[in-house]
Structure formats: structure tokens, C-alpha cells
Structure 1
């Protein structure tokens, strides 16, 4: 990583993919935000997300009404959870390692995975908005920001604890680093580039972390929340209710 006068160059939105990846080699002490990678559940989540993405490829043929309930509905609501569970069960033959059921399943039990929901979001972008992108002009536009707040505060009323904290953090990061967020959702899941972009977002968006200068991140879980926040900022910027066309 290039240094000027002994100062380490911190990765930012203007840097190439190569520089973003190379920045992963920087010593943590050189970063204003020390990003550490969680290995406790990282491998499990990466494998689970790969499986979820296989299922989501089949689920993109699901009716628009069901997908809208999942993607645009209130997170953790009974309606959104049931809709996601229904989509999972309907497409379970596409889901590697899906458990066999000897009894009639409770549909809602299969609708609680944030990784399944993230995989569905990725397919929505690929199918309905492959050109989705955000700039600082979008996320700092007063009308867009007001629209985002007015929609998302009531919409996320059922999120609690760590789920709510992760959403607040990633919503702030997407707002402050929209170009990096755009590149992250376009990067391959589990890639070095994706990890580098995650680090760059946290370093450049450190105002979103408050006084916290050390953070432990699971890249897969982080990507899932960024996808969610990115989607919500895109619909606010475009002033639409959904990226999924009405049936």
C-alpha cells in the first residue's frame, strides 16, 4: 500500500479494485477503525449463503406479490415471515441440504433467515434493477433523506437488539459511502474484493461508528445488512414503493 511522507493511504471510493484488496494487508494499527474478521460463524454463514443463493435463483420465478411481502414488507412481521417461509418451502428442491420433513412444517419457521432474505434481495437486483447504483448526491439529497426516514422508522419497528443496531449502522454506512456500497453489492460474495470493500466502508464511514474504533465483522452477515439498507436507499432515491413490478 502506497505511503506518502510516512502516511498510510486509506482505501476509498476512488481507488481501484486492486488497491481496495491490497489494503487488506495494512496493519490494523494503521487504520483509524480497526476492522477484525469474525471466524466464529463466518465459515458457517458463507456456506449457508451459498446454499441460499442457489435457492433464490429458483425463487425469482415466484409471483411478485409474494416477493414484495418479503422484500418490501415489515421485517419480522408475521406476514413477511410467512411469505418468506412459503417461498423457501415452495423452492426447497433447489435448496442444497434442505432438511427432510416427516410432518407438516410450520411455514413461518422457514421464514426467519436473514441470509435467505439477502439472497432474495440479490436476485431482485439482478432481475429487476441490475443498474441500481447510489451516489452521495442521492443519499445526501434532503428530500431523499426525509423520504427514507419517513418510510424506514415505522417499517422497522419490529426490529430489536442486534438486528436493529446492524440495520442502523449499515443504513448510515450506505448513506455516507454509497459508491462503496454499490461496488460491494456488485462484488462476488465471499471474495477478497468484497472483504476489502467492507473494510473500506467501515474505515471511510467511521463517523457512523461513533466512538468505537474497533469492530468485529462477519463479511457475509455484513453484506446481508448492506443489501437491505442499499435497497431501501435505492427505492427512496427513485421515489418508488418497490423495485419489483406489480403483478
Structure 2
């Protein structure tokens, strides 16, 4: 049966935008969370506003897929917590590559295979499938969809019950949890600020790095990442605080809502933007890490072995 390895994420997407700088990045202790004042436009800047305390936007994923997404995200964080460190020669390609980059896939596959006792619900594939299996996708079945073929529909024949496996790639979540762990351990007090993400030199460095590693992105992934990196650019502090919040916590929900409410410019002010919380967190972590590299003007946050 065909398998749709999906990364369903945002329902309305556009590109990035720039505004007027504010304060600089800080490596001191994290500032306490503040309210959500509306930004004031300066020199043709943008107006963004948001509200905290609202109910979380619904996930665009079907119910069964949404549950698997949460479970796989939980497994990924459990895996990282169980590890007794990650060698730099594996961590760096996982964190700073792309999930479709062969080097990234090889590193993640090796990390999982050398730490199988830590990996929840490990699926052992058939022998001929083992090469790079855990880094390339490592699919988790997320449901079955029934329907009929186009030919059957056009011929007005009795609908045949075909079943399509719906799967999600665990490797995306595993990599996201490792990115979070890297940022939290290597930049525990760093706060990304709008003055950084809106600084032209920082933006140029961010784009240059993304041009190199982004060559592995699919068109859909490109739209997702461009949108989320735009959100981080406009709401860097909330984005950092989100990945410092416990996964699935009320604090995470509040910060996610704040980011979505304040970054309409990134989605063309779409009225109906829904996200899958675990996948949104993964994309936010990836964008935060690479904005931090650009802001610090360093090649990596990962110390050499």
C-alpha cells in the first residue's frame, strides 16, 4: 500500500518581513516573562498584537495523527533525556544539517543504533531496510484513510475500499528534541532579541547559512520553515521562551498563541492558521538555533570533542 509520509503543519503560509530593531541579544540571565504590549510602528514598521490566555488553536491533523504526533514528540524528548551525552561528531550534523541531508540521517541513525536501550518503542525493520532507517524517516503509523481511485470515481463504479497508510517520520521529532537540548545546554542564558533578528548583517548571515543547508528542503518544507523563521524573527523572545517551557505545558500553549497572534505578517494575515503543537515546537527550535548562530556570529554552539 502507498505510504504518505506527511509533515502536515500550517494551513496558511507566506514569507518573511522586516521591521524596526529594538533591544540586543543578551547572554545574561533570562528576563522574566512580560505581558504582550502591541508594537508601535516606527518609520513604516509593522503593527503586531496578541492575546495570552486563550485556548490553544486546534491542530490541523486528524485525531489519530494528532495523538501519534504528541506521543512521538514525548518519545523523542524521553530519548534525549536518557542519553549520557551526544558525541560532537554526531550532534553537529544532526543539529546543523537538515532532516533530508544524508550526513544528518547517518548521524541520527548511528546515535539511535548505539543507544537502543534509551529509544522508546524501538521498531526493528527487516534486515534489508536497516541502512539509515532510523535517520531517514523511521515512520510511525498514524492511521488509515479509506477512499476510491480517480478512475473509479469518474467511471461511476462502486467505490472500492482502498486503504492508505498515514505515517509521520519520527526522525523529525528526534532531531527537534536534540536541537532543543543543544540550545538549552549550550546557551542556557542567551536571549535572542528583535534588534538581532532585524539587523541586516544578522539577517544576511542567517540567509547565507540557510541557502547552504536549505538545498535539501522540499517545496512544502521550504514554505513551513520560511514562515516559522519569520515568526521567530518577529517574536524572538517568545520563541526562545517557548522551547524553554516544558513540552505540552500551559506556558508553552500561551507562548505559541502569542507567537501566532503577533506574526500575522508571516502568514499574509490569514484568518485561519492552525498548527500541530509538537511540529510547531520542532520548527521553532530549529529556527531559534540558527538565528542564534547568526546573532552571535559563530559557526556552531557545539563545543569540539
Q: 1:124-177, CA deviations, whole angstroms, 9 ceiling, x for partnerless residues?
A: 123222123211111111111111111112211110132221111110000011
Of 117, 120, 130, the match for 2:175:
117
Of 181, 189, 193, the match for 1:135:
193
Give the aligned partner of residue 37 of structure 1: 59
Structure 1 pair 88–20 and aligned structure 2 pair: CA distance change class (3 A): farther
1:229 CA displacement: 0.4
Give the aligned partner of residue 207 of structure 1: 265
1:179 CA displacement: 1.2
The question of whether the paired residues in 2 share the 8 Å contact of 1:60 and 1:120 is answered with no
Comparing 61-70 with 170-179, which one deviates more in the overlay? 61-70
Structure 1 pair 159–105 and aligned structure 2 pair: CA distance change class (3 A): same
Give the aligned partner of residue 249 of structure 2: 191
The question of whether the paired residues in 2 share the 8 Å contact of 1:21 and 1:192 is answered with no
TM-score, normalised to structure 2, is 0.68
Of 9, 14, 35, the match for 1:15:
35
Q: 1:81-136, CA deviations, whole angstroms, 9 ceiling, x for partnerless residues?
A: 11111111111211121124563762421013110001111221232221232111
**Counterparts of 2:98 and 2:80, CA distance in 1:** 20
Q: Which has the higher helix share?
A: 1
TM-score, normalised to structure 1, is 0.83
Give the aligned partner of residue 49 of structure 1: 73
Of 24, 45, 53, the match for 2:55:
24
Q: 1:21-71, CA deviations, whole angstroms, 9 ceiling, x for partnerless residues?
A: 52228xxxxxxxxx4433522221111111111111244622101111111
Give the aligned partner of residue 157 of structure 1: 215
Give the aligned partner of residue 9 of structure 1: none
The question of whether the paired residues in 1 share the 8 Å contact of 2:238 and 2:259 is answered with yes
Give the aligned partner of residue 174 of structure 1: 232
1:211 CA displacement: 4.8
TM superposition outliers: structure 1 runs of 4+ over 3 Å: 100-105
RMSD (Å) for aligned C-alpha atoms: 2.1
**Counterparts of 1:59 and 1:138, CA distance in 2:** 33
Structure 1 pair 105–93 and aligned structure 2 pair: CA distance change class (3 A): farther
Q: Are residues 1:234 and 2:256 paired?
A: no
**Counterparts of 1:195 and 1:162, CA distance in 2:** 25
